[in-house]
């Protein structure tokens, strides 16, 4: 028990003893994890944004003049079953008449003597789709249905939004992979250097009769503490930036940057894992 | 206690030791002398298992080195105290922490560590220096610290590899006196040195090396 307490205290005190190397390691963990965390938040928020925008995609389906409200309801039931469709809302001939009257102030039945407006329905698409939404196949399917006269949708706008989303997803994915690799290399090399600088310590401890485990534990704890502190600082900075950003965004655009605490957990776990694995590998190399 | 039988070891550059035979008995103070490069340090390294012989048999404290598993080496090293010419103290720790390390390695309880460190520092003449860092100590004090670190675990033998190499004549003389005092209390000592004047007339057995061989062997 005394030995374990000693090893843990050595791990903590080593941070203080080797301040410069510890600060270097913590700083490199901080910078890289802050970047990774930022990219995660960007990806997450672009995802939330696209989901929000998809709720605004509106497809209006106009039925042929002879289609009754009952028939329109049946066709709408078929539309609802098409993959990618989230919901449908029927606008009966009478609803259309009322909307017309509200918008133009004219009673068209009084003028014409009959209701010329067709029944229609509004189709909303699924907002939670892993990939970009290509609305054209959906439109073709709706158009091919019996009783459907015309389909109105914001095709060009939707394509633009979806293409932009795709670009963001692809760009961020590539950036995440590159930064992830850089993070592994930077953290690994920093920890390697801190251990390399202590080769003499390893040699002396070996000569004094220390087992490999006795030598390894403080190094591993030191590496884990460095990873933990660096990740913790990155997390605090990231949350701080998000909060500061939200203050302005809420005032200017009534928007908020969303933040999932899982990102924080991943960042801390990632830093500890890399620090531990690199620390273990490097100490083992010098002990051989 | 230590036995070398026909031991040879050669480095990549061809130097090393050839056909070494000697025995050290418990409680004995033996000098290992010879000029620089004669193989003294190689003998020391073979004893503390930093090197393995190419041929021959080495028995350390009753253990045949050839049959010792690598993971058991630390436990045998704990029975040997080591003193080096360049001290090998840890500069990022104070004197107390340096001397206490072997006890932490063994797993001695914290309160006992404190008591033993203060006792040993008094024994080697470093009382009230426990808070100082190695760079704040003189060469002689650093070597005494090194002796304290070797002695604190009650070793059966102390290996001193050119312990006076960096010391002035007075400090060297005092150091050998201190080692003799430790030896009188029962700890065997093997001290390597190239300083004939320092060891002559002390009445201890001498193993003399020259060009990797025992001169009288």
Three-state secondary structure readout of chain A: CHHHHHHHHHHHHHHHHCHHHHHHHHHHHHHHHHHHHHHHHHHHHHHHHHHHHHHHCCEEEEECCCCCHHHHHHHHHHHHCCCCEEEEEEECHHHHHHHHHHHHCCCHHHHHCCCCCCCEEEEEECCCCCCCCCCHHHHHHHHCCCCEEEEEECHHHHHHHHHHHHHHHHHHHHHHHHHHHHHHHHHHHHHHHHHHCCHHHHHHHHHCCCCHHHHHHHHHHHHHHHHHHHHHHHHHHHHHHHHHHHHHHHHHHCCCCCCCHHHHHHHHHHHHHHHHHHHHHHHHHHHC
Residue B82 domain-assigned (yes or no): yes
| Contacting residues of A for B109, CB less than 8 Å apart | 2
Q: Are B110 and A204 an interchain contact pair (Cβ–Cβ within 8 Å)?
A: no
Residue B88 domain-assigned (yes or no): yes
Report the interhelical angle of A261-287 vs A199-207 (nearest 10°).
60
Q: Are B110 and A209 an interchain contact pair (Cβ–Cβ within 8 Å)?
A: no
Give the span between the Cα atoms of B19 and B4, in whole angstroms: 9
Q: Can you tell me the mean pLDDT for B54-63?
A: 94
* Closest CA in chain A for residue B51: A207
What pLDDT shows up at residue A135? 78
Q: Are A2 and B107 an interchain contact pair (Cβ–Cβ within 8 Å)?
A: yes
Determine what percent of chain A is predicted with pLDDT higher than 90: 13
Give the span between the Cα atoms of B87 and A206, in whole angstroms: 15
Give the minimum alpha-carbon distance from B33 to chain A in angstroms, rounded to a whole number. 23
| Contacting residues of A for B82, CB less than 8 Å apart | 207-208
Q: Can you tell me the mean pLDDT for B9-37?
A: 91
Residue B63 domain-assigned (yes or no): yes
Report the interhelical angle of A199-207 vs A212-253 (nearest 10°).
150
Nearest neighbour of B110 by CB, restricted to A2, A211, A214: A2
Residue B210 domain-assigned (yes or no): yes
Determine what percent of chain B is predicted with pLDDT higher than 70: 99
What pLDDT shows up at residue B192? 93
Contacts of A192 (CB under 8 A, 6+ apart): A278, A282
Number of Cβ within a 10 Å radius of residue A100: 17
Residue B33 domain-assigned (yes or no): no
Nearest neighbour of B109 by CB, restricted to A2, A17, A201: A2
Question: What are the strands, taking DSSP E only, across B39-156?
Answer: 55-60, 63-64, 80-84
Q: Which domains does chain A have, with CATH numbers?
A: 2-52+162-287 (no CATH), 58-153 (3.30.70.3040)
CATH number at residue B143: 3.40.50.300
> Mean pLDDT across chain B, nearest whole number?
91
Give the span between the Cα atoms of B184 and B97, in whole angstroms: 27
Give the residue numbers spanning the domain of B127: 2-28+40-214
Interface mutation target, options A9, A13, A208, chain B, most CBs of B under 10 Å: A208
| Contacting residues of A for B92, CB less than 8 Å apart | 17-18
Is it the case that residue A72 has pLDDT exceeding 80? yes
> Mean pLDDT across chain A, nearest whole number?
85
Residue B58 domain-assigned (yes or no): yes
* Residue B69 phi, psi dihedral angles, 5° rounding: -70, 145
Quickly state the pLDDT bin for B217 (edges 50, 70, 90): very low
State ipTM.
0.87
Per-residue pLDDT of A25-58, as tens digits, reads 888 889 888 988 888 888 888 888 888 888 777 8
Total structural domains within chain B: 1
Instruction: From B86, B82, B18, B11, select the one nearest B51 (Cα to Cα).
Output: B11
What pLDDT shows up at residue B184? 92
pTM: 0.71
Residue B110 domain-assigned (yes or no): yes
Q: Are B93 and A17 an interchain contact pair (Cβ–Cβ within 8 Å)?
A: yes
Residue B6 domain-assigned (yes or no): yes
């Amino acid at each position: 028990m005394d030995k374990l307490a000693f090893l843990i205290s050595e791990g903590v005190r080593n941070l203080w003893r080797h301040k410069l190397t510890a600060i270097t390691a913590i700083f490199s963990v901080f910078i890289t994890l802050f970047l990774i965390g930022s990219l995660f938040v960007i990806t997450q928020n672009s995802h939330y944004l696209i989901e929000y925008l998809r709720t605004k995609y509106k497809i209006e389906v106009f039925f042929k003049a002879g289609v009754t409200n009952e028939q329109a309801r049946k066709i709408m039931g078929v539309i609802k079953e098409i993959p990618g469709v989230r919901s449908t809302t029927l606008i009966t001939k009478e609803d259309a008449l009322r909307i017309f009257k509200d918008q133009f102030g004219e009673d068209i039945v009084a003028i014409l003597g009959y209701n010329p407006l067709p029944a229609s329905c509004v189709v909303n698409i699924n907002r939670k789709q892993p990939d970009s939404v290509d609305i054209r196949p959906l439109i073709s399917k709706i158009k091919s249905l019996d009783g459907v006269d015309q389909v109105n949708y914001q095709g060009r706008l939707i394509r633009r939004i979806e293409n932009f989303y795709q670009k963001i997803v692809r760009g961020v994915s590539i950036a995440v992979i590159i930064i992830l690799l850089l993070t592994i290399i930077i953290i690994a090399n920093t920890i390697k250097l801190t251990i390399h600088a202590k080769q003499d310590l390893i040699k002396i401890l070996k000569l004094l009769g220390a087992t490999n485990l006795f030598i390894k534990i403080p190094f591993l704890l030191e590496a884990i503490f460095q990873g933990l502190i660096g990740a913790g600082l990155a997390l605090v900075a990231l949350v701080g930036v998000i909060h500061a950003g939200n203050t302005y965004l809420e005032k200017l655009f009534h928007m908020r940057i969303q933040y999932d605490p899982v990102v924080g957990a991943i960042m801390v776990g990632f830093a500890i894992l890399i620090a531990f694995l690199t620390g273990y590998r490097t100490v083992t190399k010098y002990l051989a | 206690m230590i036995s070398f039988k026909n031991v040879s070891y050669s480095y990549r550059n061809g130097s090393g030791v050839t056909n070494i035979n000697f025995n050290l008995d418990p409680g004995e103070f033996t000098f290992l002398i010879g000029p620089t490069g004669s193989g003294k340090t190689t003998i020391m390294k073979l004893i503390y298992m930093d090197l393995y012989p190419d041929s021959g048999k080495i028995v350390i404290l009753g253990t045949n080195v050839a049959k010792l598993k690598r993971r058991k080496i630390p436990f045998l090293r704990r029975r040997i105290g080591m003193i080096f010419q360049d001290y090998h103290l840890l500069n990022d720790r104070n004197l107390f922490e340096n001397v206490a390390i072997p006890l932490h390695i063994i797993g001695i309880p914290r309160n006992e560590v404190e008591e033993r460190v203060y006792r040993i520092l008094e024994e080697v003449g470093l009382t009230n220096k426990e808070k100082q860092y190695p760079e704040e100590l003189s060469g002689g004090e650093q070597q005494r610290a090194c002796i304290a670190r070797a002695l604190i675990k009650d070793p059966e033998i102390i290996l001193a590899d050119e312990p006076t190499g960096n010391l002035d004549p007075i400090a060297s003389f005092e150091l050998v006196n201190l080692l003799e005092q430790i030896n009188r209390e029962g700890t065997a000592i093997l001290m390597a040195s190239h300083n004939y004047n320092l060891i002559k007339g002390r009445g201890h057995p001498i193993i003399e090396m020259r060009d990797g061989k025992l001169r009288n062997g």
